[in-house]
Amino acid sequence: MEYRAPLRDMQFLIREVFDFETHYGGLEDSTPTDLDLVEAIIAETARFAEVELAPLYQSGDAEGCRFVDGQVIAPTGFKEAFQQYVEGGWGATTGDPDYGGQGLPHSVGLFIEEILTSGNLSWTMYASLSRAAVNTLQAHGDAELKSRFLPKLLTGEWTGTMCLTEPHCGSDVGLLTTKAEPTAGGDYSILGTKIFISSGQHDLSDNIIHLVLARLPDAPSGTKGISLFIVPREIDGERNGVVCGAIESKMGLHGNATCMLHFENAKGFLLGPENQGMRCMFTMMNTARIMVGVQAVGLMELGFQSSLGYAEERRQMRAMNPREPGRAADPIIEHADVRRMLLTQKAFLEGGRALSYYVVQLADNVAFGSSDGQEAANRLLDFLTPIVKGFVTEVGYEAVNEAVQVYGGHGYVSDNGVEQLVRDARIARIYEGTTQIQALDLLGRKTLGDGGRALADFMAVLLEEAAVSTHGDTLRHLAQEWEDLTRILGADAMRDQAIVGSAAFDYLMYSGYVVMAVVWSRMARFAGNDDFGVGKRQTCQFFYDRLLPRAEGHRRAIENRGDSIDSFELAGFSHH
């Protein structure tokens, strides 16, 4: 499957819609960043993804990872491509300069992430989790830990993982039982088993640095008693007690090893304060959640490019309004419903990309902005993160399925590669917290839990856009409706907290459509009069006409929720 990086669309967002030049000029603590440097990095990343990674996407899926004598062997070509990645210095882009990083803002890392994801998601995950581990180490590690682990993580000589899930508990990490026993040497002995560890074992790097959640002796129960530890696969060239017991046979992402890891009295180092592991790990998880939203964007781009090219060439039946009379059959792009499927992909893809760029600007401001604006930026970032992770992955999965539908029967077979996109995109709705967990986070914690402050902050952004938008009336109506809906839910939840659970998914999806409406309005305002700009405005109109009305259905579902979920008798599920 061929891939061409969407450089024109990225440049439009970076230079015009979100004015990253002014944004970078306002950052205080990052390496000085100009757009020529950023675009040079993007161009070189594009070359690498198009030439080196994309040709391995389908072959890596077909071959998969091999588990031989306790060792994991990545698909053919992956190791060589990873060595080029290391030599190119991509892993150091956003790292701390004191440890060999380039110190560029988080946004540069996101631009790289999207392009690499479109090139080859399975391969990219080996590098992506390392960047998340780097962020956690930079935020919570002491000088000794940073000096010991950051330099080689930043070069890519070492890679990283996050180890949360255990066989008896998934997202409910408060139930985990992995133990950490202090040793006489001041470190810890880690004992337990973790599952579903992406990139947990492979042959691409010299060492793998696992970030592991575990319990100290006499720690409090639940999440308040969890600590975070650095557990290397190797220490000073000697194998640590980290054993890969198996790799999962999965629906997709066959080129990335998802491992069961046994920690057999492995040597570990405490990262952050005792019993504060969840707080520290959330640095990694929030980075990963935004990353997963960007993965959905990357896969949508690949699906859209492929299905658009097919629709322009495939001839079948006569269109209702044929452009060239006398042909036996027309290109299927001339059929209205094929254009609907393509426009649905385009609207979600470009809307998701714009939303991720907006959110990563907030992340830059939190990390490097002036102190007087960091609190507000962090509140908005926390509010929008579950929407990026939850909503964008939901509509991303819809979009890649539409790519298959454009191909028809040729999409269902593996020859054209679009069926792989569906398999690979499916996990994005699950890992790093399912859509349902994101929904509970958005409604329960980020909206009702903070008294609506973050929602009010975004409402100001929405109304500011409405004041200059041709869709101003629609946006103002949505603002009032969103506020009313939230107020009603808040009052009802005070009487019965179960209402949060039954309303959360629809609230997330409603919020996602409204937030995407805001970024589409902004893109339409900056669009010029060339073909690219006209296409932007027409896609914006399609979003408002055909996709935004779905928000009304989610609103009505919330209002009509009654007690049809909570009062349903479990025995009623039986159909025997």
pLDDT tens-digit readout, 216-231: 999 999 989 999 999 9
Cα(463)–Cα(444) distance, integer angstroms: 24
Q: How high is the pLDDT of residue 25?
A: 95
Domain assignment present for residue 548? The answer is yes
Confidence tier at 562 by pLDDT (50, 70, 90): low
User: Which tens digit of pLDDT belongs to each residue from 119-153?
Assistant: 999 999 999 989 889 999 999 999 999 999 999 99
Domain assignment present for residue 32? The answer is no
The answer to whether residue 568 scores a pLDDT higher than 90 is no
User: CB pairs under 8 A, 24+ apart, for 461-464?
Assistant: 461/380, 461/518, 462/514, 462/518
Taking a C-beta distance cutoff of 8 angstroms, is the pair 196, 258 a contact?
A: yes
The parent domain of residue 449 ranges over 435-563
The answer to whether residue 250 scores a pLDDT higher than 80 is yes
Structure tokens at 253: 């992402």
The answer to whether residue 284 scores a pLDDT higher than 80 is no
State whether residue 92 is helix, strand or coil.
helix
Q: Where are the alpha helices (DSSP H) in 26-142?
A: 35-48, 57-63, 78-88, 106-119, 121-140
Cα(202)–Cα(160) distance, integer angstroms: 11
State whether residue 263 is helix, strand or coil.
strand
Q: What are phi and psi of 109, to 5 degrees?
A: -65, -35
Cα(74)–Cα(523) distance, integer angstroms: 40
Share of the chain above pLDDT 90, in %: 85
Domain assignment present for residue 399? The answer is no
User: Which tens digit of pLDDT belongs to each residue from 3-29?
Assistant: 999 999 999 999 999 999 999 999 988
Domain assignment present for residue 192? The answer is no
For the segment 330-357, the average pLDDT, to the nearest whole number, is 96
* Domains in the chain, number: 1
Domain assignment present for residue 442? The answer is yes
Q: Which residue out of 313, 432, 481, 483 is catalytically annotated?
A: 432
Structure tokens at 471: 């869709």
State whether residue 413 is helix, strand or coil.
coil
The answer to whether residue 564 scores a pLDDT higher than 90 is no
Domain assignment present for residue 544? The answer is yes
User: Which tens digit of pLDDT belongs to each residue from 497-517?
Assistant: 888 999 999 999 999 999 999
Known active-site residue 432: yes
Residue scoring higher pLDDT (274 or 321): 274
Domain assignment present for residue 290? The answer is no
Cα(175)–Cα(89) distance, integer angstroms: 39
Domain assignment present for residue 413? The answer is no
